[in-house]
Amino acid sequence: MGGEKGMPFLEVVQEAARKRLLFLPHAIDQMNRPERMISPREVRELIFSGQLIEDYPEDPREHSCLLSGLTHLNRIIHVVCSPKDA
């Protein structure tokens, strides 16, 4: 993934999110569950204002992390991010 060598992984995630967000089918299914209904706006908000709570550098699908935070709707959500080169 791009970014300066040694850049904190959350900054790498944010840099990638500025370019685009890709929601995998599992994420879309989870976001659209009636009791959740998480919008792409909330996910984007979380990427830029949430906290990195788990870092998975050895994830077999590439480095990823778990973010958690509060959205503008005052809801706590969790998001798994794995930045990819465009």
Q: pLDDT tens, 10-24? A: 999 999 999 999 999
- Secondary structure letter of residue 20 according to DSSP: -
The pTM (predicted TM-score) of the whole model is: 0.85
In a domain, 32, yes or no: yes
In a domain, 2, yes or no: no
Q: Which domain holds residue 26?
A: 9-81
One-letter amino acid identity for 55? D
The residues, any chain, with a CB within 8 Å of residue 20's CB and separated by 6 or more, are: 86
Tens digit of each residue's pLDDT, the chain (86 residues)? 444 567 899 999 999 999 999 999 999 999 999 999 999 999 999 999 999 999 999 999 899 999 999 999 999 999 999 998 75
In a domain, 86, yes or no: no
Number of domains in the chain: 1
